[in-house]
Every structure is written in C-alpha cells, then in structure tokens.
C-alpha cells in the first residue's frame, strides 16, 4: 500500500495559518500596529479603504529593516523577538511567533517599503499570495510602510463571510483604540476613506483616554494607583453614576498589552458592589505591570487571553485597590476617622442631669360629642376642664353598650373569612377591564375561546413598534417634524464615524442632520413617532446594537434601526396600562405579521388551553 501522508506546500500551510491569525481586516491592523511599536516608532499612521477590505496600510518612523530582513520577514516562523524557548517566558515585545506577515502575504497583495536610518536607499518588495512579484531599491523615508490590499482575494468564500463595512470598521477601531490606549506616548493617526477619524498626539494616559472617548469622559474618571511586590496598578475607573448597561469601555492592560479576563473583571465588579444598579457595568481603564516570567501570553493565537501565576493574589489586590480609590475620592462611603470635634457634645453638658420625658395621660373613655345636646349655648362650653371631663366620662360609661350592640350578632367565622379575602386581593390587585387583566404591571391576561393567553407587554409592544417602524422606513415615506431649537448631542469620535456611515439611512427614517462635527451631532428634525427627549436614548441604543453586531443577519441598517427604535420606545415593565391601552396593545399584536416573537426572537405570549388548566388542578 502506498504512502498517503505528505508535507503541505508552504503557500497552503500559510493559508491555513492565516485562518487562525487573520480572521478579518481588524486582525491585520492589530498585527501591523504591534510590529510598528516593536520597531520603536514614535509616530504611526493607519490608512483604511472600505473597512480594510481594499486597503490596510501602516506607516511608521521606526528603525526599519535591512534588505535581507525585509525579504526574510515574510517567511514562516521568522522573528527577531526570540532566540530560544526560554525567551517565551521573558517577553517584552508584542509579537514573537513570526506567523503574522507570512499569513497576511498568503491571502492578500502586500507592498513593503522600508529603510534604516543610516542607509541612503530603502527596499520595496511586492508579494501576491506568498509569491514574491518584485524586489527593488527605492527612495523612502526612514521606517516602514506596509500596505495590505485586496484581503482574501484568493479565498472568496472567506471574503464573503466578512460583515458589513460598518461592523468591520467597528472591529478595526476597537483594535486601534486598544493599541493607542496601551501606548499614550506614541502619536497615532487614523484615516478611513480619506477622512481623518483620529489624530492622537503623544500625551499622558488621561489625555489619551479623553481624546479617544470624548471630553465628557474627563469628569467621569477616578484615578487608581497601587504598587506591591508582585504587581503595580495604575489607571482610572469611572464613577458609579456613569455605569453603562452594556459591557463597552472595559480595558485591562498587562505590560502594555490588552487582555481579556473574566476573573479580573469580577474583581472590579465586586469593588463596585452596592454602588451600581442591577444590570449595570462599570467603565475602567486599568494597567498592570507584572514580572514577565509570572505571565504566559502564548495560550491563544490573538494573545488576548493570558495566564497568571498568582491569580488569587491579583484578584484581592485589584479589588482592594479599586475599592480604596472609590472611597478616597468620596465616590463610596467610608469610615471617617477624622472626627469633627465641633459636632461633639460640649464638656459642660456631659454631667448635666438628664431631662425627664413629659408624661401624656390619655383618657380612653373621653367622648367629645356626648354632651352636645346638653350644651345648647356655645358660651356655656367654657367650663372648668375638670367638671366637663367628669361629665363626659360618666355619660360615656353609661352608654358603652349602645355602640357595642351593633357588633353583637356578627359571627367570628364571617369576619375572619372576609378579612382573609381582603388580604388576598389587596396584596395582588389586578387591573380588570372586560376581557383583559394586567398582572404585576408586566403581563396582560386575556381570555380566548379555548382558554387564556398571557402576553408580555414589553415584548409585545416591541413587536408592534418594530413592524410599524420597518414599514415607515422601507415602504412609506418617513415624516419628519422640525425642531424649533436644534439639539446638540456629544459623541465619541468612534460613534461620530458610525453615525456618519448611517447618515443616509437615518435620514430615510426621518432624522434631519444640520451638522456633524468631530464630536457633536446637530439634529434639526426627528421622526414624528418619537419625542425630543428620546433622541439621545434612541441613538445610543442604535450605536450599542451595531457595536454588538446585531445587524449581522439583517439585510440593511433599516432592520437594526427598527429593532433599536422598538427596544428603546416600548413600554417597560412596571407601567400601568388602562383598560383601553391593554385592549389596543392586544389587538395590535395579533394584527402583526409575526405576533408570536419579539424583534429579537423572544416569545411574546403563551396560550393556556382549558385542558392544560384542568390538568394543573387535577393533579
């Protein structure tokens, strides 16, 4: 029998490796930015076209490469970062495996220009699908320029799996932000389709955070700083009142490398215990410095998941550090050992006899109305209190039986039964309106021929609004109402970029934009179906949904817009509905094309037949 195992050709092996290293354009951005940082660059420019699908180019002023290094860097496992296996446990660089450039060159058109400082001319290499097309001498500035064009051109199936430009741009910006936050001392510039998105100057950490997430971030931040033998912690956490419903702005950096750690995230959340509303998540930018030999960063291809030697100790230190910062800056209540002496009891009063509490004597038999018939003359009511009190007492005692006789024939069993019923229905008052009942301000119970139907009022209203908005946006012409005074809303640079990309779709929905600047949106008109106070909520919800890739399975932004509008404007749990409102909601729900599920796929109602109800009580 012949041999069947054979070695794969290099270009095939590189394409397979690219499946792990290069998942989308953002993966290319991450690798190229980290290479520029490892090269000692102080200024890095990132150029994008079509969300990186057409072009990803990184230009840096680092030390550059020689002609031999420029050719060798595209070979598999070629690296200048490590020499032997022991170096893996003492890493001070971003990359080290030597797979990135080889993988990228296998699935794209790559053009490299590089020059070292002491050289007069540099090197230009062009590669297409692992094949070197040309290698020439060129005139280029000091540093390296690497352009990756037509990503996945030779793997069309992989290219088809890429998301919309908006989603892919969001991933690229996420990677850009992580690298820029880790290195505030390096200047970064980002251009997308010839539009400048970021221009970050070299600065300190706080200024870098503010320049990325907007000027409003400055007032939210509380500094964190702690140094121990096993870890040094610095950074910022946001005040509890600025917590968000989504896990968005949460950043951990270890030795200037962005990481994800649910374990350490739990430590931060526990420090905020008692300060956040249910379902809210804190914002934080926390930087760790640990000895390189106490961390393993080679357990995941993207190097975002790491393993610490002493995780339990780090957990305790992080939790205590964040809790201390919140207390130190009067964000959380703490024990105040600096007692204000002016609030103490004066010394002269400490030995004074205690003041006696006045005694109040109440006469339980006093009846102020008993003597009304006797005192026909109002002037005669001004009698000495002692005599009138005696009169009232004697008269009240004589007729005590008259009012007690009213309850003489009342049976004990009847009273206790009535009382029990009152307690039952007082504690669970349902809103009864014909055929509908509102239960716990959350559900609507309606009777049908075969039994009853229990409707979730929020999810049902979401379905009704979703179909209405989708019809108005896609079929009917959306109507706008002009605002008397245009509204200015501040957003981060990232959000502005997303709003700019969706501007045409938002205008189709009824929004009117007077102006869009680098950090502000001026709105002059809104859809007639929403109110002025809801604009910010709706836009923030829409941006969050796009960041979480809600539109992946949608045919356009219109669908995710309709979902976001419905989710933002639907009635919430706890809202009391009148009888007419309940009936209208039920009728509108069952007039929908898909009444059984909400826009996000959750069931809107549950039907209980008479047989099912009988089964419950027959057990």
Q: What does the pLDDT look like over 169-197, one tens digit per residue?
A: 888 998 999 999 999 999 999 999 988 88
Distance, in Å, from the CA atom of 402 to the CA atom of 407, rounded to the nearest integer, reads 10
Mean pLDDT of 400-416: 50
Q: Which residue has the higher pLDDT, 526 or 396?
A: 526
Q: How confident is the model at residue 506 (pLDDT cuts 50, 70, 90)?
A: confident
Neighbours of 391 (CB within 10 A): 15
Helix residue spans in 345-411 (DSSP H): 385-398, 400-404
- Using the predicted structure, report yes or no on whether residue 239 has a pLDDT greater than 50: yes
Long-range contacts from 54-57, C-beta under 8 angstroms, 24+ separation? 54/149, 54/150, 55/147, 55/148, 55/149, 56/25, 56/28, 56/29, 56/32, 56/147, 56/148, 56/151, 57/145, 57/146, 57/147, 57/148
Distance, in Å, from the CA atom of 236 to the CA atom of 223, rounded to the nearest integer, reads 4
Q: For 61-171, list the strands marked E by DSSP.
A: 109-115, 122-128, 131-138, 143-149
CATH class, range 444-606 = alpha beta
| Per-residue pLDDT, 50 | 92
Please give the CATH number for the structural domain made up of 206-328: 3.30.230.10
Instruction: Specify the range with the lowest mean pLDDT, choosing from 182-196, 468-482, 498-512.
Output: 468-482
The alpha carbon dihedral of 413, 414, 415, 418 has a sign of positive
Closest CA to 315 of 253, 281, 271: 271
Question: Which residues does residue 527 pair with via DSSP β-bridges, in sequence order?
Answer: 480
Task: Report residue 278 CA to chain centroid gap.
Answer: 13
| Per-residue pLDDT, 32 | 92
Question: pLDDT tens digits for 332-361?
Answer: 554 445 545 455 555 455 555 566 677 777
Mean pLDDT of 150-158: 87
Q: How confident is the model at residue 249 (pLDDT cuts 50, 70, 90)?
A: confident
| Per-residue pLDDT, 431 | 43
Tell me the pairing of strands 250-254 and 195-200: unpaired
**Stretch(es) of the chain classified as CATH 3.30.1370.100:** 444-606
The alpha carbon dihedral of 477, 481, 486, 490 has a sign of negative
Tell me the pairing of strands 284-289 and 232-238: antiparallel
**Stretch(es) of the chain classified as CATH 3.30.565.10:** 10-200
Q: How confident is the model at residue 478 (pLDDT cuts 50, 70, 90)?
A: low
> In the numeric block, which tokens belong to residue 418?
């009535």
Q: How confident is the model at residue 384 (pLDDT cuts 50, 70, 90)?
A: very low
| Per-residue pLDDT, 62 | 92
Distance, in Å, from the CA atom of 23 to the CA atom of 304, rounded to the nearest integer, reads 14
Mean pLDDT of 515-534: 83
Question: Which residues does residue 84 pair with via DSSP β-bridges, in sequence order?
Answer: none
Tallying the residues shown for the chain, one arrives at 619
| Per-residue pLDDT, 18 | 61
Question: pLDDT tens digits for 421-472?
Answer: 444 444 334 444 457 888 888 899 888 888 889 999 999 999 998 888 777 7
Neighbours of 423 (CB within 10 A): 10
DSSP state of 512: E
- Using the predicted structure, report yes or no on whether residue 391 has a pLDDT greater than 50: no
> Is residue 409 helix, strand or coil?
coil
Distance, in Å, from the CA atom of 89 to the CA atom of 232, rounded to the nearest integer, reads 19
| Per-residue pLDDT, 543 | 81
CATH of region 10-200, choose from 3.30.1300.10, 3.30.565.10, 3.40.50.300, 1.10.3720.10: 3.30.565.10
Q: To the nearest 10°, the Cα dihedral for 329, 333, 339, 343?
A: 120
The H or E element that residue 513 is part of is: strand 512-516
The H or E element that residue 580 is part of is: helix 579-589
- Using the predicted structure, report yes or no on whether residue 396 has a pLDDT greater than 70: no
Q: How confident is the model at residue 298 (pLDDT cuts 50, 70, 90)?
A: low
| Per-residue pLDDT, 165 | 83
| Per-residue pLDDT, 351 | 58
The mean of the pLDDT values for the chain is: 78
Q: How confident is the model at residue 302 (pLDDT cuts 50, 70, 90)?
A: low
Instruction: Specify the range with the lowest mean pLDDT, choosing from 80-84, 113-117, 204-208.
Output: 80-84
**Stretch(es) of the chain classified as CATH 3.30.230.10:** 206-328
Question: pLDDT tens digits for 423-434?
Answer: 444 433 444 445
> Is residue 589 helix, strand or coil?
helix
**Angle between helix 535-547 and 557-569 (nearest 10):** 130
- Using the predicted structure, report yes or no on whether residue 519 has a pLDDT greater than 90: no
- Using the predicted structure, report yes or no on whether residue 605 has a pLDDT greater than 70: yes
Mean pLDDT of 69-89: 67
Q: Tell the residue number behind the tokens 């996420």, with chain if given.
A: 174
Question: pLDDT tens digits for 97-143?
Answer: 557 788 888 889 999 999 998 899 999 999 998 889 999 999 999 99
């Amino acid at each position: 029998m012949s041999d069947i195992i054979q070695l794969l050709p290099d270009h095939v092996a590189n394409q397979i490796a690219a499946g792990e290293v290069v998942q989308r354009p953002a993966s290319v951005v991450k690798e190229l930015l980290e290479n520029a940082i490892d090269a000692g660059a102080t200024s890095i420019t990132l150029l994008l076209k079509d969300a990186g699908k057409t072009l990803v180019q990184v230009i840096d002023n680092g030390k550059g490469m020689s002609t031999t290094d420029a050719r060798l860097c595209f070979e598999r496992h070629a690296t200048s970062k490590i020499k032997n296996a022991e170096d893996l446990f003492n890493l001070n660089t971003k990359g080290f495996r030597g797979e990135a450039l080889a993988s990228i060159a296998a699935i794209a058109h790559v053009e490299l220009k590089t020059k070292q400082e002491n050289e007069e001319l540099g090197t230009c290499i062009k590669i297409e699908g692992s094949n070197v097309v040309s290698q020439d001498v060129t005139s280029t500035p000091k540093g390296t320029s690497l352009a990756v064009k037509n990503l996945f051109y030779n793997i069309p199936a992989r290219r088809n799996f890429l998301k919309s430009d908006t989603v892919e741009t969001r991933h690229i910006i996420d990677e850009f932000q992580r690298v820029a936050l880790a290195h505030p001392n390096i200047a970064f510039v980002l251009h997308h389709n010839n539009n400048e998105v970021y221009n970050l100057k070299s600065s300190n950490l706080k200024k870098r955070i503010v320049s990325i997430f907007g000027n409003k971030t400055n007032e939210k931040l509380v500094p964190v700083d702690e140094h121990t033998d096993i870890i040094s912690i610095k950074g910022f956490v946001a005040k509890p009142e600025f917590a968000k419903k989504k896990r968005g702005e949460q950043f951990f950096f270890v030795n200037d490398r962005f990481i994800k750690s649910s374990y350490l995230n739990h430590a931060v959340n526990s420090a905020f215990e008692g300060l956040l509303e249910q379902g809210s998540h804190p914002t934080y930018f926390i930087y760790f410095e640990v000895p390189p030999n106490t961390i393993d960063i080679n357990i995941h291809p993207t190097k975002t998941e790491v393993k610490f030697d002493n995780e339990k100790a780090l957990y305790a230190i992080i939790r205590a550090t964040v809790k201390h910062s919140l207390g130190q800056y009067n964000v959380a209540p703490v024990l105040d050992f600096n007692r204000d002496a002016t609030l103490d009891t004066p010394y002269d009063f400490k030995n004074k006899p205690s003041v006696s509490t006045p005694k109040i004597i109440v006469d339980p038999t006093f009846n102020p109305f008993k003597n009304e018939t006797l005192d026909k003359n109002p002037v005669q009511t001004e009698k000495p209190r002692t005599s009138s009190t005696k009169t009232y007492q004697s008269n009240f005692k004589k007729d005590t039986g008259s009012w007690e006789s009213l309850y003489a024939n009342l049976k004990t069993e009847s009273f206790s039964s009535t009382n029990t019923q009152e307690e039952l229905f007082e504690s669970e008052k349902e809103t009864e309106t014909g055929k509908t009942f509102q239960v716990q301000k959350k559900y609507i119970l309606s009777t049908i021929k075969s039994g009853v139907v229990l409707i979730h009022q929020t999810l049902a209203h979401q379905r009704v609004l979703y179909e209405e908005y989708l019809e108005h946006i896609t079929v009917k012409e959306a109507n706008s109402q002009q605002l008397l005074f245009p509204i200015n809303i501040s957003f981060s640079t990232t959000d502005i970029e997303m709003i700019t990309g969706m501007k045409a779709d938002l205008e189709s929905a009824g929004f009117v934009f007077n102006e869009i600047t680098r950090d502000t949106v001026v709105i002059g008109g809104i859809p007639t179906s929403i109110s002025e106070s809801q604009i910010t909520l709706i836009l923030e919800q829409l941006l969050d949904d796009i960041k979480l890739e809600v539109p992946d399975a949608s045919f356009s932004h219109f669908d995710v817009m309709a979902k976001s509008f419905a989710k933002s404007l639907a009635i919430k749990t706890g809202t009391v509905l009148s009888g007419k409102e309940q009936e209208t909601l039920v009728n509108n729900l069952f007039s929908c094309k898909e009444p059984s599920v909400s826009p996000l796929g959750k069931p809107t109602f549950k039907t209980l037949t008479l047989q099912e109800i009988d089964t419950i009580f027959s057990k």
